[in-house]
Amino acid sequence: MATTKKKSKQAEKSRVYKNLIGGKWAAAHSRKTFENRNPADTGDLVGIFPASDARDVDAAVAAARAAFPGWSRTPAPRRAEILYRTGELLAKRKEEYARQMTREMGKVLEETRGDVQEAIDTAFYMAGEGRRMFGQTTPSELPSKFAMSVRMPVGVCGMIAPWNFPMAIPSWKLFPALVCGNTCVIKPAEDTPLSTLNLVQTLMDAGLPPGVVNIVFGFGPQAGAPLVEHPQVDAVSFTGSSEVGRLVGQTAAGLFKPCSLEMGGKNAMIVMEDANLDLAVDGALWGVFGTTGQRCTATSRILLQKKIAKKFTERFVAAAEKLRIGNGLDKSVQVGPQVNLQQVETSERYVAIALDEGAKLLTGGKRLKGKSYATGYFFTPTIFAGVKPPMRIAQEEVFGPVVALLEFDSFDEAIEIANCIHYGLSTAIYTRDVNRAYRAMRELEAGITYVNAPTIGAEVHLPFGGVKKTGNGHREGGNAALDFYTHWKTVYVDYSDKLQRAQIDE
């Protein structure tokens, strides 16, 4: 939302938050702020946050740089103990943080509890890495010489996080970076600043030293871009759109700094004629409309073998029309709002594009504006049939509760359709044929493939990321995350007490 100098009476009564720099809370240098409002009820002001700029980024990076020597020399098991205590504290605060998350980004309470749980799981997993982070020991080719490799922290890490998983994804970035000995500056999404603040507050309460993690709130051009460009930031981790990710990657490449990009998806779920249709329909509902379709792994294309297409479609549309839409704090609600007006307008725009291309609207396709929805950003679960692979509705990421149904004849055709996009994040296949399942695992061009499950549901101890325009080869999650937040140092110890010239001397 636009920054304003004047605050309403309601805003004055709400809590005003500040940046975290060097362990202290500080207002933005500009003194500008922005409002964080509940997308299910825009009259509910969650908080007021600083609209930071390059001066605030400079201060945060300086604090992270000052904290790096002490933190990087702290033994990894000691760093890990702080993460473990963080996990324990998050578990105690789970309900409180989940409710605040639902207020600021809209997804139903059951899902925000899962978001917090993912941060808990990541804390415990990465705490374990504090006693591993294994390198290699290997024989030297020369006598009386020892050879090994060790992981070293990269330095100050700049992090830009999205709004759809405002605690889970920051935990994917912060926790492995911290256990490896790095210090961090994180810019949360402007739609969900409170959840990231809650995560970092928990780290501080668990004993994290001042300056090891710093938070700069604000918008991409004013705060995100200076963080990426900063000469004292040694590595950048970004999660967001492919369009912005391209700019982040180009900037980082020009400065010779490592950059991890996790971006968009146009994820396909294949339903074969031998599939358990009830299971497939349940999976589609969750994959398409979970988080109101606002996941990079959301099921946005369903590929149906023609023999079962009609039966599946009838069941799926009927089930979608029964979904209860509303405020995510209501226990009866299954689908919350979209995060802001811009996302609703994007969904509306793609509905118009799909109709213009000749797709058939089976249900939904409009913003809800009745009395119960007047103060929120609600969009109906939307299903298109008659979609052809070249259509934009089958190629471009909508990031809303909108799905395209496509039909195919053979397994080979299904694989071809699934792969004919620029993205490659997540895929799924429903079948009872083990041979097809294993072929799909091999042939689907994606970083993740599910068998008899939807395209969402990643677990923290496995690598997460994609191919093509979804990412640039790095992975979050599991010990694969350590590869980004460390660099390898090879160490040779020669105890022969004489000069040995490796390949020259025999």
Annotated catalytic residue within 35, 118, 129, 262: 262
In sign, the C-alpha dihedral spanning 417, 423, 424, 426 is negative
Q: What is the spatial distance between Cα 75 and Cα 342, in angstroms, rounded to a whole number? A: 46
Q: What is the CA radius of gyration of the chain?
A: 24
Q: Find how far residue 465's CA is from the centre of its chain.
A: 9
Is 262 an annotated catalytic residue?
yes
- 296 classed as catalytic: yes
* Single-letter amino acid code for the residue at 106: G
Cβ count near 483 (within 10 Å): 16
* Residues sharing a CB contact under 8 Å with residue 293, sequence separation 6 or more, in sequence order: 300, 398, 399, 400, 401, 402, 403
82's CB contacts (< 8 A; 6+ apart) are 178, 203, 206, 207, 208
Q: In what order do the strands lie in the sheet with 24-26?
A: 24-26, 19-21, 213-215, 183-187, 156-160, 235-239, 259-262
- Cα separation of 71 and 178, whole Å? 9
Q: Which of 447, 397, 394 is nearest to 417 (CA)?
A: 394
The residue from 229, 296, 407, 476 that is catalytic is 296
Q: Residue 45 region, left (φ>0) first, then alpha (ψ -120 to 50), else beta?
A: beta
C-beta neighbour count of 189 within 10 angstroms = 26
Q: How far is CA 243 from the centre of its chain?
A: 16
Q: Is 160 left (phi over 0), alpha (psi -120 to 50) or beta?
A: beta
**Region of residue 326 (left: phi > 0; alpha: psi -120 to 50; beta: else):** left
State the maximum Cα–Cα separation within the chain, in Å, rounded to a whole number.
86
Task: Return the amino acid letter for 112.
Answer: T
C-alpha–C-alpha distance, residues 104 and 439, integer Å: 42
Instruction: Please state, in angstroms and rounded to a whole number, the distance separating the CA atoms of residues 135 and 251.
Output: 31
Catalytic positions: 262, 296
